[in-house]
Amino acid sequence: MTHQIIMAGFGGQGVMSMGKILAEAGLKEGKNVSWLPSYGPEMRGGTANCSVIISEEPVGAPTVTEATAAIVMNRPSLDKFEKDVIPGGNLFINSSLIDKKATRTDINVYYVPANEIANDMGSGKIANMVMLGAYLKVANAAKEDTIMEYISEVFSGKKASVVPLNKEALKRGADCIK
């Protein structure tokens, strides 16, 4: 199975970090991975996206044009990337900020109120991890334990306090998937 994921939102929503965390976890599990960011005159509030590939096979093109999943954090990202999901693929919509429904009927669509959940947890910044939790529940691109292992490595010492918050965010996201 080759997971080809597009993650998109506006600058500051943590879509680049979300992609990197997933790629790092894939690597930890011994898979082949790539992470390709959109780059350019990006700024906070502008649009940002990254393409992540996790595969047992060597990664071919690092570009994702036929996504097995798309995670969209804001409305422009839904408009831009809904068409790139393959039939039968998964689309994760941040329903806190996107009031529109998906138009495709040949894909699985999951609505996750990521910002509401994150705010409820006391940190709006963690919305990306809520979305990632929802994604991981559906697609087995990486194990939650591996994600947490990586996060514990990154946030050590004084920053270790955010580790349980991340774990909780992944769980709350996963709980959105019925």
Residues 79-138 close enough to bind another protein by CB under 8 A: none
Interface pattern 57-86 for another protein (x via CB under 8 A): --xxxxx-xx--------------------
54 token code pair:
């996790």
In contact, 54 and 33? CB cutoff 8 Å: yes
Region of 55-63, 94-102, 151-159, 163-171 interacting with another protein (CB under 8 A): 55-63
Three-state secondary-structure class, residue 8: strand
**Following DSSP, what letter does each residue of 38-106 receive, concatenated?**
--SS--BTSEEEEEEEEESSPP--SS-SSEEEEEE-SHHHHHHHGGGEEEEEEEEEETTT--SPP--SS
Determine, following the binding rule CB under 8 A, whether residue 24 of this chain makes contact with another protein.
yes
What whole-number distance in Å separates Cα of residue 7 and Cα of residue 152?
23
CB-wise, 65 or 140, nearer to another protein?
A: 65
Q: Is 39 in the site for another protein (CB under 8 A)?
A: yes
Give yes or no for residue 147 binding another protein (CB under 8 A).
no
Q: Which is nearer to another protein, 66 or 145 (CB)?
A: 66
- Total residues contacting another protein by CB under 8 A comes to 20
The residue ranges that bind another protein (CB under 8 A) are 20, 23-24, 27, 32-37, 39-41, 59-63, 65-66
